[in-house]
Amino acid sequence: MPLKLSDATVSSFDNVFDKFKSEAPKNKANFILFLADKDPSTSLSWCPDCVRAEPVIYKTLEASPDDIALLQAYVGDRPTWRNPQHPFRVDSRFKLTGVPTLFRWEYDTVSGRLEDHDAHLEHKIKALLSAD
């Protein structure tokens, strides 16, 4: 089954997240990946951990035979992300401390998470994917 991707920025997150939540029951698993924006001069993320983790996350989720949704939530450029009052840092649902962070979303809440130091580990992504 194809991986269903949707993208959100800080400004579009609420609307995209509402749609993501409304479609969640149709999927076997639903994930939210918070990651850094791409640097326009290089087309790469400004975050080295994101550069390392993204391909592993996508490959692992795409290999699943189940319907999976992935909301990619971009935190902004480095100065925006570094602000302690960044909306994703202070959001009580996520309490984000680093990027990339991969959340499993079930029953209208976070049911599992991989922080920046674990998000590139395929066996941990698979464990999060198979968690029931």
DSSP 104: E
Q: Phi/psi at 89 (nearest 5 deg)? A: -75, -35
Which one is catalytic: 8, 32, 35, 50?
50
Specify whether 128 is catalytic: no
Q: Which of 29, 33, 35, 47 is catalytic?
A: 47
List CB contacts of 86: < 8 A, sequence separation 6 or more. Answer: 10, 75, 76, 80, 96
Lateral strand order in the sheet of 29-35: 3-8, 68-74, 29-35, 101-106, 109-114
The first and second tokens of residue 111, run together, are 């049911």
CB–CB of 20/71 below 8 Å? yes
Told to judge if 69 belongs to the known catalytic residues of this protein, a careful annotator would answer no
Q: Please report, as a single letter, which amino acid is at residue 1.
A: M
Residue numbers annotated as active site: 47, 50
